[in-house]
Amino acid sequence: MPTAPLYNMNGDKIGEYELPDSIFGVPVNEAVLHEAVVMQLASRRRGTAKTKTIGEVSGGGIKPWRQKGTGRARHGSRRSPLWRGGATLFGPVPRDYAYKLPKKVRRLALLSALSSKAQANEIVVLESLTLPAPKTKDMAAVLKKLDADRKALVVTREPDRNVELSARNLPGVKTLVPSGLNVYDILDHEKLVFTRDAVEAVGEVLAR
């Protein structure tokens, strides 16, 4: 069964926490991880690129010159893609790049991401995380004691406004609740900092 070091907010190691084997001990499926990350990045694309078709560019409406007798090529409109300022053929149009993977594939990707972090010893469990007031300095001190001050994903069981406000100005630090866990954020951060009750909540979320 995978384990993670258990700390208090002072940075003192108080034991080892046994992580659920069904969540943090599954074989890592790299292909599924790749599919999940590509899906998330595709869903973030704005898809607002747009060029004008021949029916949208200005000008045209009159033949530039007569059909025969000028010695020049035949043209019917200045909107032609051959002309400067003319239309664009087969250009991009606004579209939605988002798509979804099957639910079982998404679940397997999330389990693989969590298991890969457990195997790499990049998960830390906190006995509790409570801040009396939103203060970036206090949050930075806690993470530094855990050696997670570079790029950390902090997961709490319930939304905690003081924790969220204290962490949002720290570069590379992000806070989530178990229902918001996703493959990209897990893989994008060096350390995962779970509160003890958040680990239990992850199992409840994945059991749905």
The pLDDT tens digits of the residues spanning 65-113 come to: 999 999 999 999 999 999 998 999 999 999 999 999 999 999 999 999 9
Determine the pLDDT at residue 15.
Answer: 92
Neighbours of 158 (CB within 10 A): 11
Question: Which amino acid appears at position 96 of this protein?
Answer: D
Residues 12 and 76 in one domain: no
- Structural domain boundaries, residue 181: 3-46+101-206
Rounded Cα distance between 114 and 67, Å, is 70
Residues 40 and 127 in one domain: yes
Report whether 113 contacts 187 (CB < 8 A). Answer: yes
Residues 166 and 190 in one domain: yes
User: Considering the entire predicted model, what is its pTM?
Assistant: 0.84
Rounded Cα distance between 32 and 43, Å, is 17
Rounded Cα distance between 123 and 3, Å, is 9
Residues 115 and 36 in one domain: yes
Residues 65 and 153 in one domain: no
Last residue of a domain, one of 91, 123, 157: 91
Express each pLDDT in 145-183 by its tens digit.
999 888 999 999 999 999 999 999 999 999 999 999 999
Neighbours of 128 (CB within 10 A): 10
Number of structural domains (the chain) is 2
Residues 140 and 163 in one domain: yes
Determine the pLDDT at residue 208.
Answer: 64
Residues 170 and 87 in one domain: no
Residues 147 and 200 in one domain: yes
What are the Cα distances from residue 118, in Å, to 16, 46, 77, 88, 180?
13, 34, 65, 51, 19
In percent, the amount of the chain with pLDDT more than 70 equals: 100
